Amino acid sequence: MELKFATSNPHKVSEANQVGRKYGIEFVQLEQDYPEIRDEDVRMVARAGAAYVFNIIREPVIVEDTGLFIEGLGGFPGSYSAFVFNKIENQGILRLMQGAGDRKAEFISAIGYCDIDGVQIFDGAVRGSIGTEITGTAGFGYDSIFIPDGHEKTFGENPKLKAEVSHRMKAFDKFCKFIAECWD
């Protein structure tokens, strides 16, 4: 079964399909823009995005919003992670972290699924820390500075680990279980 995934990021679709495959679900990228509302909760951003896209295409659809919440920076960049990455990238985050004692961080992913019955949210999180340098070239975004707890390498160095423990993998696992039951 196929389901549209509204995103401009093909990496997200490929990661979603690593999970979807196990459930017989194929996520198909839909290049449909939607406004990202200002809210500190990625779940609210995903909720608004999914409803917006559904109102245009009138077919079941998902969007997914991710935030990187860094404790030593008071949760920054959080739900503003895309804006911040576009402005200062990973080098900028490492500069901001100079002198910040607490390097603990969490990625949170929220999937918004919208169909005729409205929006439902499925989330996933992974805890870790921000490295002291940019390492690894796999993945995208903040992958090369994020080290998941219990490991020494960044997601950028270890994409196989990302596929096993990431925020997105957990959120898609919840979502795929739900949708596979609906389609049963």
- The minimum distance between CB 181 and ligand IMP, in angstroms, equals 26
Residue 24 or 162 having the CB closest to ligand IMP: 162
Q: Does 140 bind ligand IMP (CB under 6 A)?
A: yes
Q: What type of residue is 120?
A: Q
Q: Does 66 bind ligand IMP (CB under 6 A)?
A: yes
Binding segment (CB under 6 A) for ligand IMP, from list 27-35, 77-85, 93-101, 111-119: 77-85
Q: Does 65 bind ligand IMP (CB under 6 A)?
A: yes
Interaction residues for ligand IMP, span 16-55 (CB under 6 A): none
Residue 58 or 87 having the CB closest to ligand IMP: 87
Interface residues with ligand IMP (CB under 6 A)? 9, 65-66, 81-82, 85, 139-143, 168
